[in-house]
Structure 1
Amino acid sequence: MAKQKKQPRPKAQTPKGFRDYFGAEVNRRKEMLDQIAGVYHRYGFDALESSAVETVEALGKFLPDVDRPNEGVFAWQEFDEKDNGDWMALRYDLTAPLARVYAQHRNDLPTPYRRYAMGPVWRNEKPGPGRFRQFYQCDADTVGTASMAADAEICAMLSDTLETVGIPRGDYLVRVNNRKVMNGVLEVMGVEEGATRDAVLRTIDKFDKVGEAGVRELLGKGRLDASGAYIDGVGLEADRAEPVIAFLTSKGDTAADTLANLRAAVGDSAVGAEGVNELEEMATLLAAQGYGPDRIEIDPSVVRGLGYYTGPVYEAELTFEILDEKGRKRQFGSVAGGGRYDDLVKRFTGQAVPATGVSIGVDRLLAALEAKGRVSKVDVGPVVVTVMDKSHLADYQAMVGELRQAGIRAEVYLGNPKNFGNQLKYADKRNSPIAIIAGSDEFEAGKIQIKDLVLGAKIAENATLEEWKSRPSQFECDRADMLAKVREILDAETGAENDG
């Protein structure tokens, strides 16, 4: 009989482009999501949880290719008993599912419908440093109104959200532009729908990288990039390209100056004038609520996503500097973006349904707070009740139960209790603030030992021998006083943390 071939063991590694998140990271994200949800809820938005899986047809942006729609999404085909196969895919954002939800349930939903959604999305793209195939988004959208008050509200809410999670005023800016203004510029240029228009939009999108001179070259004959390669331009005459340059460089010292410059850039274009009027209305509504240019400003250089949006577009940019992997200073950049997309629901209903919304990149926002040292990378662990005598296991469980009932995170050491040193190493690894110690002698006398692990670590790092004696990190107290003493230590450490 042939010997059965041994099955190879699976590799214990995450798939490419994905990662695992452990305790402190998960808790930090949850805390941030709760803070964001609190702001959204305060603005009157309702939570929505939609399916992580949609039909590819409903997602709309990615359609089946020859064999499978694997460009950009994770997709698979499901067959029924008649072998009719539907393509399914993991959602790539939270907006496409909203369009399906609204179209499906619109008769039961209020108009306008204001919803927020939070959760992971998946993109089948090439991963890179800091770029993963699964990441969290946090969206808020208003569907069913064309009022600029909805767009202004989204910008105000975005500003409030950033400040709530720990980005102070002065460290961020919500920048606003309008697709209709860009359409007006293209109209003045005489650029119709088609390849030339798309090429112009792609060139405008490079403004933040190549600047005014680079855009001029790319709208004309072309330019040499940093690597020395020649990039062919759109081929426009210099005078035809001038409205684009006027648009991109129209930001003035005040909102009024910027609006005046934009009116000049769009000339006689009706759609362009409509876009400028919408920006002016948003600025007025925001100013009435106290949101000035220190928080929200009109900025024509916001061009990303102009091909997708139909009206106002907005982007939240963090303005403080961080050090990159090579120690060079750079601005952190964008952490949120959104705008008005009046055509998305129309795919399902056949009728235009106005909508506007914003999406916050939660992981990027967390990374920004970490870069500024505004969130702790380590969670405070549980109080650990050590085990000195297995015959008193019920007493140890009574201790931990008392702590938990008082709302204090606590656990009994469940490993091998023979080596007490290993129990303290375990507590250190858990970042535990306190270890409670009691053996037969302590139980008999109605006493316990409390070891302040945080203070002990600080003393070991900084203190002299005399300070050890004056500030003991371990002391004895009555068993009845355990809860009060533990709370006293935890409150003191929390206060010191806040003072720091």
Structure 2
Amino acid sequence: MTDETFRPEARAPRGFADKRAAQLRAERRIVEQVSAVYERWGFEPLDTGAFEYADALGKFLPDSDRPNEGVFALQDDDEQWMALRYDLTAPLARFAAQNWETLPKPYRRYAFGPVWRNEKPGPGRFREFIQCDADTVGSARPEADAEIIAMAAEGLEAAGLPRGTAVLRINNRKLLNGLLTAAGVESAGQKLAVLRAVDKLDRLGAEGVKLLLGAGRLDESGAFTKGAGLAGGAVDQVLAFLAAGAGDNGRTLDALSGIVGGSAEGAEGIEELGKIAAALKALGFDESRASIEPSIVRGLEYYTGAVFEAELLLETVDDKGQALRFGSIGGGGRYDDLVARFTGQPVPATGFSFGVSRLAAALKAAGRDEAGATRGPVVVIVFDAGHMGEYFAVAGELRAAGIAAEVYLGSSGMKAQMKYADRRHAPAAIMLGGDEIAAGTATIKDLDLGRALAANIAGHDAYKTERPGQQTVPRGELLAAVRKIVDAAR
């Protein structure tokens, strides 16, 4: 007789990752540390629902019949399309428009949570991931941009990036627009081609960008990419603009002013960058933390003024020890048109966003994550089911003192229980056999010490002398002995 019972294959949908304790703790720590910074700067938390009406997502809608390209959408019982939020900015724009009359203005908020994108997944590219944003809505002052930039830099440092290991690179879309106007570029298509060429500077270098600004570029595979079609003089002007970064914000602004100052829009962008640089200096942020960089291009059709990008400067390696380039780990800018989609009235806004999972991965690749120091609970070994009351009393005593603890509730013997405790990364295992209970004692095995000795850590002989691998103590001294082990693991 054939068993025809359906058994589904155990598999996760593509682009959706399962996360275990180490990754979850690393991400939670990042969110907690960054949130503390944002609140210290006077930003309040906001949490919006996972779904937004699809028409509120604007540019992500392909059509009205089935808006599920780019987003995950479904139709409500009133036949309105809803979609899982693509980012945290569109929900903010909807919330601000809906509650504008009652909000303090400017409205300063930060938010974190999962976002979903119905796009093809790949290595490091997921359909669900956690973002963390901070935005100011209702201020057109360049100082609002400067504050977001400075706060972002401080937030990344709090998350685990030591000062000097990441920098906020700053530009202004008005400079690029002014440059293109001065170069005689008028069509939207040609402007977009120029911006896309500029965006490839890091990857292709100045020569590659020069080809893309002109007739086009033939890559190593033989594929040809059509260029922006600029004349020679205009190409030289754009390349001079990209090379204007001087490392010093004042000198960079002077160089840029000489290139785009003849354009009204370019001059406006120079003025805004000057105010941002002055505010950053007043806040104590020098070029090592926030630097004007003309090559930064973000959101080709999204940002309206200042744009900024956080670049990781640390050397990073993958799981195989191979060099890995992370580059940008977050970014943002000024977007003055988003809220106006709902109200018809201009509402200035600026913000910064980073992917929590991406930052956690970058910290790990740079050897800066703290996940390795995370420990599981102390495990109380079960010798005799008749003594479960004593085992639970010990675990309760440890928990009451703030020490994570659990009683083993499987059905395996002593050897398997010790293996279980090791897999849980327990700092210690507590053994209470009949003899210990009768004598009023407890035996403690220092599992952290065992792992350290197995890894042949430097100075392990002294380490072993200071911390015995296994000790039997009076029952009343159990808590103090365990705490000493747990504290040493931190």
TM-score (normalised: structure 2): 0.94
Q: Which moved more, 1:339-348 or 1:305-314?
A: 305-314
**CA deviation digits over 1:162-213, x for unaligned, max 9?**
2112211221111100011111112112222432222222222222222222
Residue 210 of structure 2 corresponds to residue 212 of structure 1 = no
Residue ranges of structure 1 left out of the alignment (5+ in a row): 495-500
Q: 1:440 aligns with which of 434, 442, 453?
A: 434
Q: What corresponds to 1:490 in structure 2? A: 486
Residue 326 of structure 2 is aligned with which of 315, 332, 340?
332
Q: Shift in Å at residue 222 of structure 1?
A: 1.4
CA distance in 2, matches of 1:355, 1:466: 58
Deviations along 1:349-377, one digit per CA (max 9) or x if unpaired, are 00000000000121121111111222244
How much does 1:444 deviate? 1.6
- Within a 5 Å distance, the mapping from 1:136-175 to structure 2 comes to 136-175=130-169
Distance in 2 (CA, whole Å) between partners of 1:465 and 1:293 is 46
2:47 matched residue in structure 1: 49
Residue in structure 2 matched with residue 29 of structure 1 by the alignment: 27
Residue 421 (structure 2) aligns with: 427
**Aligned counterpart for 2:451 among listed residues 440, 457, 480:** 457
Deviations 1:470-498 (A, max 9, x none): 9641111111111111112222333xxxx
- Asked whether 1:176 is paired with 2:174, we answer no
Find the partner of 1:38 among 33, 36, 39.
Answer: 36
1:89 aligns with 2:86: no
Separation of aligned partners in 2, 1:48 and 1:66: 29
Q: Which moved more, 1:287-296 or 1:464-473?
A: 464-473
CA distance in 2, matches of 1:492, 1:77: 55
Secondary structure at the aligned position of 1:16 is classed as coil
The question of 1:75 aligning with 2:73 is answered yes
Determine the structure 2 residue equivalent to 1:415.
410
Q: Contact 2:62–2:69 at 8 Å: present in 1 too?
A: no
Q: Contact 1:319–1:331 at 8 Å: present in 2 too? A: no
1:383 to 378, 383, 386: 378
1:472/1:204 Cα in 2 relative to 1: closer, same or farther (>3 Å)? closer
Match of 1:317 among 311, 320, 340: 311
Q: How many residues are aligned here?
A: 487
The amino acid across from 1:484 in the alignment is: A
- Aligned pairs for 1:287-306 (under 5 A) are 287-306=281-300
Range with bigger deviation, 135-144 or 480-489: 480-489
One-letter code of the match for 2:486? L
**Is the deviation greater in 422-431 or in 244-253?**
244-253
Structure-2 residue corresponding to 1:65: 63
CA distance 1:257–1:466, shift in 2 (3 Å): closer
CA shift, 1:27, in A, is: 1.1
Q: Is the 8 A contact 1:188 1:267 kept in 2?
A: no
Structure 1 pair 420/184, CA: closer, same or farther in 2 (3 Å)?
same
Secondary structure at the aligned position of 1:213 is classed as helix
User: SS where residue 320 of structure 1 aligns?
Assistant: coil
Match of 1:399 among 387, 394, 399: 394
> Equivalents in 2 of 1:464, 1:75: separation in Å?
57
Check whether the contact 2:447–2:469 (CA below 8 A) recurs between aligned residues: yes
Which residue does 2:216 correspond to in 1? Answer: 222
> Would the aligned equivalents of 1:386 and 1:436 in 2 still touch at CA under 8 Å?
yes
User: Identity over the aligned pairs, expressed in percent?
Assistant: 54
1:11 aligns with 2:46: no
SS in structure 1 opposite 2:351?
A: strand
Aligned equivalent of 1:473: 469
2:130, 2:247 → 1: CA distance?
A: 36
Q: Does the alignment pair 1:127 with 2:125?
A: no
> Aligned partners of 1:163, 1:92: CA distance in 2, in Å?
27
Cα distance in structure 1, aligned partners of 2:230 and 2:118 = 36
2:338 corresponds to: 344
Aligned to 1:497: none
Deviates more, 1:180-189 or 1:214-223: 214-223
Question: C-alpha root-mean-square deviation of aligned residues, in Å?
Answer: 2.3
Establish whether residue 258 from structure 1 lines up as the match of residue 258 from structure 2: no
- Per the TM alignment, residue 66 of structure 1 is displaced from its structure 2 partner at its CA by 6.6
Is structure 2 residue 351 aligned with structure 1 residue 357?
Answer: yes
Determine the C-alpha separation between the residues in 1 that align with 2:26 and 2:465: 37
| Contact 1:450–1:476 under 8 Å retained in 2 | yes
Q: Does the aligned pair in 2 maintain the 1:320–1:331 contact within 8 Å?
A: no
TM-score of the superposed pair, with normalisation by structure 1: 0.92
- Seen in structure 2, the aligned counterparts of structure 1 residues 263 and 470 have a Cα distance that, compared at 3 Å, is closer
CA apart distance, 1:231: 2.1
- In structure 2, relative to structure 1, the CA distance for the partners of 1:143 and 1:464 (3 Å cut) is closer
